[in-house]
Amino acid sequence: MSTLTDNPIVREMVNEYWLRAAEWTNWPTFVSQPLVPILFIFYSWYVVIAGLLVLGVLWAGIRYKYINLTAARAAVPFVVFAKWPAAIGSAIYLYTQHRYFAGVLAFVWPLVGVIVMVPGKIGLVQRLMMRKAGTENLLSFKPSSAGE
């Protein structure tokens, strides 16, 4: 007997909400992927990273109180398509300005930037997002036994 949890569409929905929750939990770090390399051009790298840490700590205070599914979904294409062009372009510019460390950091930021985050409860955010979307029952679904 097939259950709701065997449905690949349901599994995909739950996975989608988990990914959005992981991004929302550390929203400043996630959105910073295409922005930080550009900021390295105008500010010292340590000032930018310190600012991102401060934003992360401030975000930790509201990330469970405010959930915006539209923003969480809309940011994904921006980050995915802009992070590497911004990183490569910033790295080239910084290298030509003889700011080698900042150039290397700008180039690898999309890979290593995720270490600048404040840990959070992704499962809780996932549940809050699914509640807001009206699909929370998919997380608490208990399949019935085959004998019933």
Instruction: Parse the chain into domains and list their residue ranges.
Output: 7-136
C-alpha 106/C-alpha 94 separation (Å) is 8
Output the CA angle 127-130-134, nearest 5 degrees. 135
Render pLDDT for 70-107 as a digit per residue (tens, 0 to 9): 999 999 999 999 999 999 999 999 999 999 999 999 99
C-alpha 53/C-alpha 35 separation (Å) is 14
Averaged over 13-23, what is the pLDDT? Answer: 88
Which residue, among 24, 25, 1, 4, has the nearest Cα to 13 in the 3D structure?
4
pTM score of the predicted model: 0.80
Where residue 5 falls among pLDDT bands split at 50, 70, 90? low
